[in-house]
Amino acid sequence: MTFAYDRKIHFADTDSAGVVYFARLLSICHEAYEHYLENLGVDLRSFFQNPTMAIPIVHGEIDFFSPLFCGDIIQVYLKPMSLNPKAFEIEYTIEKEDEKVATAKTRHVCINPQTRKTQPLPFYLGFNNSEK
C-alpha cells in the first residue's frame, strides 16, 4: 500500500543557503508516517505513550536528486514493508511537480519500552506478517 502526503516547504525547513536541510526532510517523512498512522485509525496519543509498546527508528537514510526551496509543494509517497514480525521499513519517494527530488528510508523495530526487548508488531499497522 502506498500512502501520499502533501506538504509545503516552510522557511524553517531550509538552511542558510535557502535549500531544505537534509534532517528536515527526514522529519517531513516522519510527518507523513504520522498521517499514515492516523489514516489507519491509530490514536497517536495512545500510540506514542503506550507503556507496553514502542516502535523506534533504528536506521534512516536519505538521497537528494534536486534541491527544494521555501514555498515548494511536495508529495511524500510512503510505502511500508514488513521485514519480519517485529520490524518494518518505510520507503519514501519525495516528488515536486511529478519529478522525483529525493528518496528516503526508515527502519523501525517494535520493542517493549520497559524491557527494551523486541516483540511482535501490532496487527493494526497494516502489515501482513505471515508473508515473511
Q: Which residues are catalytic?
A: 15
Question: Nearest-CA neighbor of 9 among 105, 93, 103, 94?
Answer: 94
Q: Which parts of 1-132 fold into alpha helices (H)? A: 22-39, 44-48
What lies within 8 Å, CB to CB, of 91 at 6+ separation is 78, 79, 81, 103, 104, 105
What lies within 8 Å, CB to CB, of 123 at 6+ separation is none
78, 125 Cβ separation under 8 angstroms: no
